[in-house]
Amino acid sequence: MTTSTAPGWFTRRKARSAATNKPGLFGYAFLVIVILLALFPLYWSLLIGSGDSSTINKQNIDWLPGGNFLKNAAAVVNDPSVGFWRALTNSIIVSTVVSFSVVLFSTLAGYAFAKLRFRGSRPMLMFIIATMAVPTQLGIVPLFIAMSQWLHLSGTLLAVILPALVTAFGVFWMTQYLTQALPDELIEAARVDGASMIRTFWHVGLPAARPAAAMLALFTFVATWTNFFWPFIILDSNNPTLPVALSLLQSNYFVDYSIVLAGVLLSTIPLLILFAVAGRQLVSGIMQGAIKG
């Protein structure tokens, strides 16, 4: 009697457990609040950027966007001191090259640390992870000296690209993912079939790393696109990236924040387009990787 009722009891318990794991009203309300808080700075920028110079000083601000956004955006684009189109092109070049290089080198290093056995691999990985604890500001002075005096790259895009060709976070990210998502049996089977190390990586390791590589590329592109600190130091006003160029809008004695925030929104539009185009593919890739893992 006990053996006959046990499977039914287990099934009912599993069904009740699955039902209780579904998000309830509180969970959805919490997600809505988080989304609204995340979108509020963007909407606030739209309110100010679509108004005039007096909008930010109003005590009773109108919570509906005004009709001056296109005018303010045109003022940003046509400002000769900003050089919007040149700065936009520079940001696209830097973000694309850095994202590609970070994904390539991080995937190679992550594959090596995750699946290859060589002396000193663990200490080397720990050292790479430890560098993430070092603030970026500590290395700015020697980096500036190296780029300006040794390599003579001050004011060029190479000075922004070279220090960002690979990141410690990217290596750690790909190492952790490949350790779990890539079975050792696949690598051994490829070696038995006579595949070289590079061919094994290209046909086995790289396809398995695609979901994590896609997310790393997106994170890197956004971080590089919005990076202001190092480009502001090493680049000049004649060859800036977009965040550096938009900072020139605040160099006057009087700062019109409606134009400044209109420029901020303009710089955000390419990222929103990127998320809209690649978001669904990235989510599906992550789910496929999770199922395979």
Q: End-to-end alpha-carbon separation of the chain, Å?
A: 39
Distance (Å, rounded) from C-alpha 128 to C-alpha 105? Answer: 13
In the chain, the amino acid numbered 50 is S
- In the predicted structure, residue 252 carries a pLDDT above the cut 50: yes
- In the predicted structure, residue 233 carries a pLDDT above the cut 80: yes
- In the predicted structure, residue 10 carries a pLDDT above the cut 60: no
The average pLDDT across 147-175 equals: 94
Phi/psi at 193 (5° precision): -75, 0
| 246-to-76, 97, 111, 204 alpha-carbon distances in Å | 8, 22, 39, 44
CB of 204 closer than 8 Å to CB of 190 = yes
Long-range contact list for 289-292, CB < 8 A, 24+ apart?
A: 289/177, 289/181, 289/208, 289/210, 289/211, 289/212, 290/211, 292/181, 292/208
Higher pLDDT, 95 or 291: 95
The average pLDDT across 119-134 equals: 91
In the chain, the amino acid numbered 135 is P
What is the per-residue pLDDT across 49-83, written as a single tens digit (0 to 9) for each?
A: 998 888 888 877 778 888 899 999 999 999 888 89
Distance (Å, rounded) from C-alpha 18 to C-alpha 27? Answer: 16
Residue of 163, 166, 156 whose CA lies nearest to 241: 156
Looking from the CA of 140 toward its CB, the CA atoms found within 13 Å total 10
pTM, rounded to two decimals: 0.85
CB of 268 closer than 8 Å to CB of 254 = no
| 249-to-4, 55, 82, 231 alpha-carbon distances in Å | 77, 17, 7, 16
* 49 CB neighbour count, 10 Å cutoff: 25
The pLDDT, as a whole number, for residue 225 is 96
| 9-to-21, 22, 152 alpha-carbon distances in Å | 18, 21, 74
